Amino acid sequence: MPARAGHNVGTRPLPWRRMAWVTWRQHRLTLAGVAALLGAAGAYLLITGLAMHTAYSAVTGCRPASSNICNQVAGNFLNSYAPGVGVTLGLFQAIPALIGAFAGAPLLAREFESGTFRYTWTQGFGRARWTVAKLIPLAVAVTVGAGAFSVLVSWYIQPIFGAGDNNGPLYPTLFDLLGVALAAWTLTAFAIGVMAGVLIRRVIPAIFATIAVWAGLAFATGGYLRAHYTAPLVSTKATIPVQALVINQGWFRGGNPASLEMINNTLARADVRAVTPELFQPGPSTPVNLGDPVQYLIRHGYTQLTTYQPAGRFWPFQWIEGGWLLALSLLLVAATVWLVRRRAA
């Protein structure tokens, strides 16, 4: 049977190694940018972390550890370093979004915007193979880079945890920079960026779309979803385990929720005002021997109900979040390949 016009039956598909070389040549500046971003952030963590670990030696060397003097040393350490650490880790929340926006979004969007994809699709490699050959190496590279960076973050934050900071590893601005979460979030942001580039086919709009989608997903996860990966614990005790993630806390009296007005009416006898159910302000005539306002309310028939996740669930939560983010990323990559195959030249 004669061959179809324009089809050379003797032509073999280009080997993967050639496409890998083309991918490297096209996107080496992108990889260099990712390396520069993670490298600069890592250098800052290393320099400031070394100073913090040196200062932390005064806390670990204090004996006995439970004495008032040692507690004061630990408190002074946290007052000196914890605010700066909080700001730093808050800024680093943007790392996955930046990688997704500036490494993922332009990856295919630039080809569509410039029209060079039409030439590429005539080179005997195939649309699907072309897409996979561009996506997979870069996805693996940014994921591995983010995973290595998370190890440095874990080392950096150790003195803060060791000194007894109340914000444990489940805290929203800490959790997704530790363990496998940072790598998973970076991969997801990259996949979102690539998908946005294919759908929008313009680099700048795809960048903004990537940041918006990633931010919405991150806020929804940190604000609600993560706290309910497993059923939270409920306690009526005045104190909860150290570094637990508090989901909800409120006062009850007679089995019914107590309003702020009810609490203030009870505290008025001791000249204490509740700004919130958890924050109290003593007045000028507050008795010296009043003690803890929380215990005062408990003695007057109130019950404090706290819903929380213990810090010991950190690694189960990491694997849960990493698992569904990986599944989402694979789904986005598969959808991207399908869209490229379906798109008309």
CA distance 341 to 329: 19
Q: Domain extents for the chain?
A: 16-231+312-342, 233-311
- Residue 301 or 37, more confident: 37
Q: Give the pLDDT of residue 117.
A: 62
The pLDDT assigned to 215 comes to: 96
Rounded to an integer, what distance in angstroms lies between the CA atom of residue 159 and that of residue 77? Answer: 9
* Res. 5: pLDDT tops 70: no
The predicted structure's pLDDT at residue 7: 45
pLDDT score, position 116: 66
The pLDDT of residue 1 is: 43
Q: Which pLDDT does position 40 carry in this prediction?
A: 97
Stated pTM of the model: 0.86
Statement: residue 29 has pLDDT above 90: no
CA angle at residue 277 from 272 to 280, to 5 degrees? Answer: 30
Arithmetic mean of pLDDT over the chain: 86
Q: Is the pLDDT of residue 14 over 70?
A: no
Q: What is the mean pLDDT of residues 120-138?
A: 75
Report residue 12's pLDDT band, with 50, 70 and 90 as the boundaries.
low
Percent of the chain clearing pLDDT 70 (strictly above): 89
Contact 90, 172 (CB under 8 A): no
Residue 112 has pLDDT above 90, yes or no: no
pLDDT in tens, 241-264: 888 999 988 888 887 888 888 888
Angle at 338 between CA 337 and CA 340, to 5 degrees: 65
**What is the CB neighbour count within 10 angstroms for residue 106?**
22
Residue where the block lists tokens 């929720």: 257
Q: Provide the pLDDT confidence category of residue 344 given band limits of 50, 70 and 90.
A: low
For 142-186, what is each residue's pLDDT tens digit? Answer: 999 999 999 999 999 999 999 988 888 999 889 999 999 999 999
Cα-atom radius of gyration of the chain, to the nearest Å? 27
Query: Mean pLDDT over residues 307-333, rounded?
Result: 96
Most confidently modeled range among 134-143, 231-240, 310-319: 310-319
Host H or E run for residue 37: helix 16-60
Give me the residue label for tokens 């363990």.
179
Are 133 and 13 a contacting pair, CB within 8 Å?
no
Indicate the pLDDT class of residue 284, thresholds 50, 70 and 90. confident
Q: What is the mean pLDDT of residues 126-150?
A: 88
pLDDT confidence of 281, banded at 50, 70, 90? confident
Q: Tokens 């050959």 belong to which residue?
A: 133
Rounded to an integer, what distance in angstroms lies between the CA atom of residue 52 and that of residue 46?
A: 10
**Section 75-84 average pLDDT:** 93
Q: Which residue has the higher pLDDT, 280 or 214?
A: 214
Q: What is the pLDDT of residue 108?
A: 87
